[in-house]
Structure 1
Amino acid sequence: MPSNVNAKSVTRNVGWSVLSKTGTFGLKFVTVPILARILSPEEFGTVAVALTVVQFLAMIGGAGLASALIVERDEDMALIHSAFWANLAVSLLMALGLFVFATPLANLLGAPDAAHLLEIMSLLIPLQLAGDVAYSLLARRMNFSKDAAWTMLSEVVGALVAVVAALLGFGIWSLLSQLFVSALIRLAGLYAVSGYVPRFSFSPTRVLSLCRFSFGMMGAEIANFITFQSPMVIIGRYLGLSDAGAYSAANRFSSIPNQIVLSAVMGVLFPAFSQMAEDRERRSQALMLSTQVTTVLLAPMMFGLWALAEPAMLVLFGKQWAAAWPVLGLLALSKGLLTPCSTYIPYLKGIGQGTLLFWWAVIRAVATTGAVAYGAIGGTLVEAMVALCLVNLAALVGYTWVVLRADRLPFLRGFLMSVRPLASAFVMALVVRLLLQAYGSLLPNALLQVLVGTAIGSLIYLVLVLLTERPLLLKLRDMVRTRGTSGSMPAAAE
């Protein structure tokens, strides 16, 4: 891991990560609507439910050992090899357990047709976990540029295979082919760029030395996973696979902006904050600056998607999905509310606040699961999404309070700085939505409504940002001008 992390190194690595995520999720922007037009909501729903189980077990199987390696001061190869073999052994056990209990699990989730998919997809668990250690080495070295090309390649090839298979009539198997092809290429790429070669060296004592950190991270990740995936399980169980498919398609599309920026930023900020852990002033400046920037970038995308959800759903997914436009809009709104929280998880991980992260993640998981279940059991999919929005609004306030308190920063000032771009984005989206309702009929088709709405919204948001975020914009301008010089993170804008 680099001995000095500064604005230049963080910005460069975030740039590479954003480039990678833009390529991969930009590809999903194209392929998800194509696949949605070819496949049925039931097929989407079946794969989505099965994938939820696989991702959950893969996360548990990793047990946070790769994250623990990132915060280690030195690259102890004996420790690295031990972590690799521990990950591999656990992943194989997980895969075997999923294969054996596929049928009862599928029945429990209300998707009996997914049983045979679970048996096949169990192989994804070792494919995913086998590359964790190689990735942790890249993260330690803040060398994300070498990972970017392979990430994009794996997603491009996987998406192309899925589209071709769907066009040839393979149906649900096209989605499976995408998952396996992408996983295999990604695994090969991680080993190619990290230079890591596993050796048969295993020390239980060394693995246990990582567990104090890794178990806390595992608990938080499990809670976060429940937060993100429990709606899919609940919807599939109580509202049926058709609604689960509508939720899956809308969720995958509405997640693209977040995943482009957030997954890139979070992956880089975790090792960066780890290096700043003992420098409170520097890490606080980095926290506020990164929070402001990500919110300014993401909030208009998410709230704008809420404003244009009705014509966007028709343009992107076709008439068979048109009735699901409120789901797309509400999902975008719920994700937009949490954009200021995007830097909080890597921050708490980086400064060693695993216990605090765990308990807050548990509270959020319980609240999210309960709210969505209440909406789904007693109402409709739309009511479940409204409940999700309300929970995320409460989570925004609570998460901000937890993080600012952990860093001994004033809550009100920090909260207002973080949510100021949200207010601008919401005003923009509300104006666009009102204009669309009043004058949308004057535009001949849904595509033109999306294009005109995007143009008007962009102009409104630009004006609002220039009026409300001038200190931040000046700070970013100064960073660009001094990009060639090293130094610490600039102070957050007032």
Structure 2
Amino acid sequence: MSEHVTDEHHPPPEEEARSTPTGRVGTSTVWNVLQYGGSKLVTFVSTVVLARLLAPEAFGLVALALLAINIFDRLKDLGVGTALVQHSGSWRRIAPTGATLTLVLALGFGLLCLVTAPWLAALLGNDALVPLIQALSVSMLLQGLAVFPDAALRRHLAFKERTLPELGGAVVKAIVSIGMALAGAGAWSLVWGQVAATATMAVLYWLVYLHLTGRARVPGAELTASPLAEPADRHLGWDRPVAGELLRFGGSLSLLALLALVIDNLDYFSIGRRLGETELGYYTMAFRLPELVVIGVCIVIGQVLFSSFSRLQDDRDALREHYLRAIAAVATLTVPAGLGLAAAAGPVVDTVFGEQYAPSEPILVVLGCYSAVYALGFHSGEVYKATGHAGLLNRLAIAQVAVFAPVLWLAAGRSTLAVAVAFLACHVAFTLLRFVVTDRVIGIPLGAQLRAVAPATVSALVMAGVVTLVDRLVPLPQPFVLLVLEVLVGAVVYVGALALLDRQALPRVTRMLRPGGAS
């Protein structure tokens, strides 16, 4: 166990990085959004193609298999990856133990998933899931192997370097899935596409990490200045106090991850068990676009914000100011996207997925609204974790499970649309609760939070109303043409309304995304 030794004029890269909390936030956000956008564009195109090659039942079956796999995926590192990002100590001290923990845990949970596949399939009420779950357990193991290098990059805000693994995985997944679907592999095309993607990402993450530490070369890549250019003395190691620190912080996050998994999949579970694979297929496809356009954006921006919030955890005034600017900027991007999907659901479904997914249209209306609500409250969780209040998220999640489980199960007794409506209603209530908790615990007043997101929310509601009128009143027979018209009208109305309510909204987003800037 060795510490960085240096003179007073040249602080170690680790200390220097941790002392400049917002200098690289803008650059990191840009690269995280770009890699997300690139990988999700590939995913979107492949989904459009696969929707025309596979029946709704195939998507429903794989969604159930992934539901089982996700139980282990959320536990694969017991939160050690996030703890490596949040830990304020020397990277040289914590890295070898962190690497050992993540690798051992990935192997253990991968094998556990493999051997419990029959029990998981029985729990989900479908024996056909057994081989699918067993194959996907390989994907889960490979994801676990990528946890350590990914955490190292995120800790040092090296989000540019994450682009190659993320985009590479998406491209491989698309090629394998579409190729196998064309060959008639059905649901297996989605499964093996997932396995191929995670294998690609695991290899690329380790290559990029080793390249940045100077221990390997990625062809055509330059070794730029980075805190990772000062690596730990060895790849693997064991320091019992460090392991305890990482597991204590990560353990609370693992419980949170498991609870979040339950919350995020209660709708899938209820529909799959009570309404069947076909209805779950319609619901899954309706969820794809809000997940892609809104929820995914929240997650990738949240990864950067968690890193920057962690660096500001000892300066509460700066943290509060940074948080309010961040949620205002995120709302400006995400709320209109969610409400826009809801307002234009008809031409969106017809254009993207085709007529066979017409039952997904009313579900998308509701889930588009859900994604907008989700975006408003999502990043409060990053503040709780960054300031050592992860236990708050556990308590909130337990309350959500207690409410969501019976409500969604009862709604599934009526229809898939009823499940979507219940899901939306529950999230509205708990988003408001998150605002209240943030007010009382972190010291960010409820009124300040509401004022931060109000301009984007009101402007998006106006936009959604106008787009709905266009959808109802303009007689265009071609769904694609109508969709283009609604997007253009919606963009003009939203930007105009936002300019009237908050002239600083768009400059605020620009500052957040500007390389070298901060939100």
TM-score, normalised relative to structure 1: 0.92
Question: RMSD across aligned C-alpha pairs, in angstroms?
Answer: 2.1
Alpha-carbon distance between aligned partners in 2 of 1:363 and 1:390, rounded to the nearest angstrom? 15
Residues 309, 132 of structure 1: CA spacing in aligned structure 2 closer, same or farther, 3 A cutoff? same
The question of 1:468 aligning with 2:504 is answered: no
* Partner residue in 2 for 1:449: 482
Of residues 142, 147, 150, the one that matches 2:162 is 147
- 1:436 maps to which residue? 471
Q: 289, 293, 306: which one pairs with 2:329?
A: 293
Q: Please, which moves more after superposition, 456-465 or 69-78?
A: 69-78
Against the structure 1 CA distance between its residues 77 and 5, is the aligned structure 2 distance closer, same or farther, given a 3 Å change threshold? closer
Asked if the contact 1:84/1:130 (under 8 Å) is kept, the reply is no
SS in 1 for 2:125: coil
CA contact (8 A) 2:332 2:509 kept: no
The corresponding residue for 1:275 is 311
User: Partner residue of 1:422?
Assistant: 457
Matches within 5 A, 1:66-465: 66-77=81-92, 79-195=94-210, 199-377=235-413, 379-439=414-474, 442-465=475-498
Alignment check: 8 A CA contact 1:21 1:259 kept:
no
Residues 147 and 189, structure 1, Cα contact 8 Å, conserved in 2: no
Report the Cα offset of residue 413 of structure 1: 3.2
Query: Once the two structures are superposed, what CA deviation does each residue of 1:232-281 show, in whole Å capped at 9, x if it has no partner?
Result: 11110111011111111221222111244212211111111111001111
1:17-37 per-residue CA deviation (whole Å, 9 max, x = no partner) reads 000000011122211121111
Once the 2 structures are TM-superposed, how far is the Cα of residue 200 of structure 1 from its aligned partner?
Answer: 4.7
CA positional deviation for 1:74: 3.3
Which piece of structure 1 moves more, 301-310 or 418-427? 418-427
User: Residues of 1 paired with 2:456 and 2:287: CA distance?
Assistant: 23
Tell me the amino acid that sits aligned with residue 66 of structure 1.
G
The one-letter code sitting in structure 2 at the alignment partner of 1:424 is S
**Aligned mates of 2:236, 2:21 — CA distance in 1:** 37
Alpha-carbon separation, structure 2, partners of 1:351 and 1:374: 37
After TM superposition, which residue ranges in structure 1, 4 or more long, deviate above 6 angstroms? 477-481
Give the deviation of 1:8 after TM superposition: 4.1
| 1:277-300 deviation line (CA, Å, top 9, x unaligned) | 011111111100110011011111
Q: Which one is further off, 263-272 or 16-25?
A: 263-272
Deviation at 1:231, TM superposition (A): 1.2
CA distance in 2, matches of 1:78, 1:478: 35
Separation (CA, whole Å) in 2 of partners of 1:324 and 1:476: 32
Distance 1:136 1:366, change over 3 A: same
SS in 2 for 1:178: helix
| Structure-2 separation of matches of 1:409 and 1:260 | 25
Q: 2:165 touches 2:202 (CA, 8 Å); kept in 1?
A: no
SS of aligned partner of 1:311? helix
Shift of the alpha carbon at 1:328? 1.7
In the TM superposition, what is the alpha-carbon distance from 1:411 to its structure 2 partner?
Answer: 1.2
Report if the CA contact (8 A) 2:27-2:513 is conserved.
no
The alpha carbon displacement at 1:141 in A equals: 1.1
* Aligned-partner SS, 1:399: helix
Please identify, of 165-174 and 39-48, the stretch whose mean Cα deviation from structure 2 is larger. 165-174
Uncovered stretches (5+) of structure 1, i.e. residues with no partner: none
Counterparts in 2 of 1:166 and 1:478: CA distance versus 1, 3 Å:
closer
Q: What is the one-letter code of the residue matched to 2:27?
A: R
Offset, 1:406: 1.9
Larger deviation, residues 416-425 vs 335-344: 416-425
1:125 to partner: Cα distance:
2.2
Q: Report the 3-state secondary structure (helix = DSSP H, G, I; strand = E; otherwise coil) of the residue aligned with 1:460.
A: helix
Partners of 2:513 and 2:308 in 1: how far apart? Answer: 19
Letter in 2 for 1:340: L
Give the % identical residues: 24
Q: Report deviation, 1:476.
A: 5.6
1: distance between equivalents of 2:507 and 2:173?
41
State the 1:73 CA deviation.
2.5
Question: What's the CA shift for 1:405?
Answer: 2.2
2:74 counterpart SS class: helix
Worse-superposed segment, 215-224 or 3-12: 3-12
Letter of the aligned partner of 1:459 in structure 2? Answer: V
Counterpart in the other structure of 2:61: 46
> What letter is aligned with 1:60?
L
Provide the secondary structure at the position in 2 that maps to 1:112.
Answer: coil
Q: Which structure has more helix as a fraction of its residues? A: 1
SS in 2 for 1:13: helix
CA shift in 2, pair 1:416/1:110, >3 Å: farther
Contact kept? 1:59, 1:222, Cα under 8 Å: yes
What displacement does 1:158 show?
1.4
Aligned length: 483
Bigger mean CA offset, 330-339 vs 77-86: 77-86
Q: CA deviation at 1:477?
A: 6.6
